[in-house]
């Protein structure tokens, strides 16, 4: 076997290992074959296009003998690698699209290359491209590239098509001043460096990335197409200075009417895609106290007067059509999720929506600390009450009151301290300037070892006596005469059955035919 191969080589032929490659050469280029073997001399003199597409070829070993070939198209095959092609110094076009290549061979000798196409492979890296100074077109979409080699020497590059690769970074494109088209879509990038120097650029494809800024394109006047949808753009470059601009696709960004409306003046546009856009602002969770003001507003599009606004809380809020929404004094019922939609008649396909303000409305006052102390309790002078209240929220001034359960003789205070408070059950209240407050039920006990005293003189101090027992009650004077009958529990205001005030003196309160207490009326 070794002898026969040596003989074959001596005769100027080469055994093609891949059957499908051999069959393709025999069927399409029989003049380069001698029988079943490649004629090395004939292959070396081949100066045309070598089209090997869709031939199910897995191995191109033997291609290295086509030293004068002009173009190789081996797309749509099963190639996982290419042989050494350093001898193909006349090669100008190399097409290996739709294979399974993980890398390309050394290309440092291919200085005449004008175009490389290796789309839809599994390339993870590229060889050095520094020597390819004549390269015009580089097509590498749909691979697994994370970076590019140095391309600063590719000063004649016109078309760079490298979309759909998981790049972690891209080079500075400023040396590639001849670029006409740049395709960097779906490459995970957040910026494109060098755009300002690409003054001849006509088309930029950068969709489905995380780009926030393309302002470097503002001075470019040659652009005809900008395809930048599905990014994070918060503004657009100046586009009104580009006389041949016909396509702008910028939907699914963070743009507003202020950014988009200038494009309505570009009369050359035939393709303008601008809707939808991402929601405005940020989701906000706010908690405010009842009775406090609520104000919501948007800051975007401050310079656009033709916008219309609709505010929502579950459903549309009628009558509110301005940039701001406010409530002077919130109520608990005002809690909810608010948002606003914005439209503009000049761009009817777009509705902008601000992200939700989630508003919680809590009680206007919270009790932080509280004490209610009866510091003294006298038979004749009533009780002295001292309170200490620590509140969260509220608006000064504060007022304090003791409201009896069984009469209307409310006792008020501006300090929270009270004097001459008759025994009984009370609602202790604190109110602020907005009438927000807290309530607490308190009981003033009867003084021990003394009879109660009332002074029914209308001064709101000790005007009445609360009979807390249940059952038929009566007030009896010292002569044994019943002056008033009641159904207890009840309050005696020091009056007789006819409504007149009882005379000063001593009386007995009887409930269920049982004496409860003596009581003194002071006039």
* Mean pLDDT calculated for residue range 316-345: 91
Query: Is residue 418 included in any domain, yes or no?
Result: yes
Q: Phi/psi at 8 (nearest 5 deg)?
A: -60, -40
> Does position 8 have pLDDT exceeding 60, yes or no?
no
Query: What pLDDT is attached to residue 187?
Result: 97
Domain that holds residue 338: 284-362
Asked if residue 218 lies in contact with residue 195, where contact means CB atoms within 8 angstroms, the answer is: no
Tell which residue, 268, 195, 273, 265, has the closest CA to residue 237: 195
Which is it for strands 453-454 and 514-521: parallel, antiparallel or unpaired?
A: parallel
Provide the percentage of residues in the chain whose pLDDT is more than 90.
75
Query: Is residue 3 included in any domain, yes or no?
Result: no
Query: Is residue 296 included in any domain, yes or no?
Result: yes
| Pair 386, 412 in one domain | yes
Query: Is residue 412 included in any domain, yes or no?
Result: yes
Cα(330)–Cα(318) distance, integer angstroms = 17
Highest mean pLDDT, choosing among 63-72, 323-332, 492-501: 63-72
Query: Is residue 31 included in any domain, yes or no?
Result: no
Tens of pLDDT, residues 218-270: 999 999 999 999 999 999 999 999 999 999 999 999 999 999 999 999 999 99
Query: Is residue 244 included in any domain, yes or no?
Result: no
| Pair 297, 324 in one domain | yes
Query: What pLDDT is attached to residue 449?
Result: 64
> Does position 3 have pLDDT exceeding 90, yes or no?
no
| Pair 299, 350 in one domain | yes
Structure tokens at 142: 């749909």
> Any idea what the CATH number is for the domain that residue 376 is in?
2.60.40
Asked if residue 195 lies in contact with residue 172, where contact means CB atoms within 8 angstroms, the answer is: no
| Pair 293, 351 in one domain | yes
Query: What pLDDT is attached to residue 251?
Result: 98
Tens of pLDDT, residues 446-460: 777 666 788 887 766
Tens of pLDDT, residues 366-407: 888 889 999 888 876 788 999 998 888 888 899 999 998 877
Asked if residue 254 lies in contact with residue 232, where contact means CB atoms within 8 angstroms, the answer is: yes
Residue listed under structure tokens 């280029």: 29
CA of residue 477 relative to chain centroid, distance: 79
- Assign residue 67 a region: left if phi > 0, alpha if psi is -120 to 50, beta otherwise? alpha
> Does position 110 have pLDDT exceeding 90, yes or no?
yes
Boundary residue ending a domain (444, 474, 498):
444
Query: What pLDDT is attached to residue 89?
Result: 97
Domain count, the chain: 3
Query: Is residue 133 included in any domain, yes or no?
Result: no
Query: What pLDDT is attached to residue 218?
Result: 98
Cα(489)–Cα(469) distance, integer angstroms = 5
Query: What pLDDT is attached to residue 11?
Result: 52
Query: What pLDDT is attached to residue 370?
Result: 87
Lowest-pLDDT range, 104-118, 154-168, 296-310, 429-443?
429-443
* Mean pLDDT calculated for residue range 342-358: 97
Q: Identify the three-state secondary structure at position 26.
A: helix
> Any idea what the CATH number is for the domain that residue 329 is in?
2.60.40.10
| Pair 439, 457 in one domain | no
Query: What pLDDT is attached to residue 316?
Result: 80
* Mean pLDDT calculated for residue range 428-451: 84
> Does position 22 have pLDDT exceeding 80, yes or no?
yes
Tell which residue, 190, 198, 131, has the closest CA to residue 160: 198
| Pair 292, 342 in one domain | yes
For residue 247, list its beta bridge partners.
Answer: 225, 271
Query: Is residue 150 included in any domain, yes or no?
Result: no
The rounded mean pLDDT for the chain is 92
Tens of pLDDT, residues 500-521: 999 888 899 999 999 888 888 8
Boundary residue ending a domain (347, 362, 377):
362
* Mean pLDDT calculated for residue range 14-27: 98
Mind spelling out the 3-state secondary structure of 301-338?
Answer: CCCCCCCEEEEEECEECCCCCCCEEEECCCCHHHCEEE
| Pair 319, 340 in one domain | yes
Query: What pLDDT is attached to residue 460?
Result: 61
| Pair 354, 412 in one domain | no
| Pair 337, 388 in one domain | no
Query: What pLDDT is attached to residue 140?
Result: 98
Residue 121 buriedness (CB in 10 A; 0-12 / 13-18 / 19+):
buried
Boundary residue ending a domain (344, 362, 380):
362
Which runs of consecutive H residues, i.e. helices, occur in 237-381? 257-260
Highest mean pLDDT, choosing among 69-78, 312-321, 441-450: 69-78
Structure tokens at 443: 């009981």
Task: Choose between 274 and 438: higher pLDDT.
Answer: 274
For residue 312, list its beta bridge partners.
Answer: 316, 339
Query: What pLDDT is attached to residue 1?
Result: 29
| Pair 358, 379 in one domain | no
Provide the percentage of residues in the chain whose pLDDT is more than 70.
96
Task: Choose between 365 and 13: higher pLDDT.
Answer: 13
E runs forming strands in 218-264: 225-227, 247-249
pTM above 0.85, yes or no: no
The per-residue DSSP string of 57-122 comes to ----TTGGG-TT-SEEE--SS--S-----TT-TT--EEE--SS--S-----TT-TT--EEE--SS-
Cα(465)–Cα(443) distance, integer angstroms = 13
């Amino acid at each position: 076997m070794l002898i026969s191969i040596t003989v074959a080589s001596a005769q100027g032929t080469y055994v093609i290992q891949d059957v499908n490659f051999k069959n393709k050469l025999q069927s399409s280029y029989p003049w380069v074959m001698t029988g079943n073997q490649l004629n090395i001399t004939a292959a070396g003199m081949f100066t045309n296009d070598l089209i090997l597409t869709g031939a199910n070829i897995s191995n191109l070993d033997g291609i290295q003998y086509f030293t004068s070939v002009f173009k190789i198209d081996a797309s749509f095959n099963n190639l996982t690698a290419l042989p050494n092609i350093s001898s193909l110094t006349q090669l100008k076009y190399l097409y290996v699209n739709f294979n399974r290549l993980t890398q390309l061979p050394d290309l440092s000798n291919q200085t005449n290359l004008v175009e490389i196409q290796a789309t839809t492979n599994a390339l993870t890296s590229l060889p050095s491209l520094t020597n390819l100074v004549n390269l015009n077109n580089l097509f590498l979409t749909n691979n697994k590239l994370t970076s590019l080699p140095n391309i600063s020497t590719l000063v004649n590059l016109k078309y760079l098509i490298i979309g759909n690769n998981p790049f972690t970074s891209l080079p500075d494109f400023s040396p590639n001043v001849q670029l006409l088209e740049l395709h960097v879509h779906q490459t995970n990038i957040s910026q494109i460096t060098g755009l300002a120097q690409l003054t001849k650029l006509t088309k930029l494809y950068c969709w489905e990335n995380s780009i926030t800024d393309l302002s470097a394109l503002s001075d470019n006047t040659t652009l005809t197409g900008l395809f930048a949808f599905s990014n994070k753009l918060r503004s657009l470059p100046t586009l009104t200075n580009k006389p041949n601009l016909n396509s702008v696709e910028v939907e699914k960004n963070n743009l507003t009417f202020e950014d988009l409306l200038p494009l309505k003046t570009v009369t050359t546009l035939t393709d303008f895609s601008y809707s939808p856009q991402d929601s405005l602002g940020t989701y906000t969770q706010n908690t405010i106290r009842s009775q406090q003001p609520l104000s919501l507003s948007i800051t975007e599009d401050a310079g656009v007067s033709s916008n219309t606004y609709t505010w929502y809380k579950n459903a549309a809020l009628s009558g509110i059509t301005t940039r701001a929404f406010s409530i002077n004094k919130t109520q608990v019922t005002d809690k909810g999720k608010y948002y606003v939609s914005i439209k503009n008649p000049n761009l009817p396909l777009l509705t902008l929506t601000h992200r939700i303000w989630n508003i919680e409305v809590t009680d206007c006052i919270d009790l932080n600390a509280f004490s209610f102390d009866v510091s003294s309790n006298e038979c004749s002078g009533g009780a002295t009450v001292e309170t200490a209240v620590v509140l969260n929220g509220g608006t000064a001034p504060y007022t304090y009151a003791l409201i009896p359960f069984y009469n209307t003789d409310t006792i008020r205070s501006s300090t929270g301290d009270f004097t001459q408070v008759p025994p009984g059950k009370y609602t202790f209240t604190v109110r602020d300037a907005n009438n927000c407050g807290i309530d607490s039920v308190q009981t003033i006990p009867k003084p021990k070892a003394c009879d109660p005293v009332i002074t029914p003189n209308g001064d709101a101090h000790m005007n009445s006596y609360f009979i807390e027992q249940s059952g038929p009650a009566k007030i009896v004077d010292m002569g044994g005469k019943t002056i008033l009958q009641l159904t207890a529990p009840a309050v005696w205001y020091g009056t007789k059955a006819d409504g007149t005030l009882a005379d000063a003196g001593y009386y007995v309160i009887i409930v269920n035919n049982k004496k409860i207490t003596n009581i003194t009326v002071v006039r």
